[in-house]
Amino acid sequence: MKIGLMAAMTGLLQSFGKNSLAAARYAVDQINAQGGVRLRDGSMAKLELVVYDEGCPNVEQGLAAARKAASDPVVIVVGPTCSSTAEPVFGILQKKLDDPPDPGL
């Protein structure tokens, strides 16, 4: 089961992103060491971490990372690291209910 982390691996705040990555890898390793996560059908699934570099404060790179995450088969994405990326990313993810022309991811 793939889960995503959208964090600053490059850019001014890469130290925060790299620390987030270390914590996420540790959590995934601990969960997988215990057999993974239990699914509704009772089976167990191992986690795989997919990292998306938001390049904080590069907003365009952050938007590209969000679009990539939305097109990948990940169950959830944690992030982004940077507030200057979070606001525009939220804007492209937001979708109005029953609004077909809304391009929200």
In tens digits, the chain (105 residues) has pLDDT values of 999 999 999 999 999 999 999 999 999 999 999 999 999 999 999 999 999 999 999 999 999 999 999 899 899 999 998 888 998 888 887 766 677 777 676
Phi first, then psi, for residue 81 (nearest 5°) are -75, -45
Beta strands in 8-99 (DSSP E): 37-38, 44-45, 48-53, 77-78
pTM equals: 0.85
Phi first, then psi, for residue 60 (nearest 5°) are -60, -40
Distance CA(81)–CA(96), nearest Å, equals: 25
Distance CA(30)–CA(67), nearest Å, equals: 29
Domain boundaries, the chain: 2-93
What letters, b where the CB count within 10 A reaches 16 and e where it falls short, cover 19-38?
ebbeebeeebeeebeeeeee
Radius of gyration of the chain (CA): 15
Domain 2-93 has CATH 3.90.1150.10: no
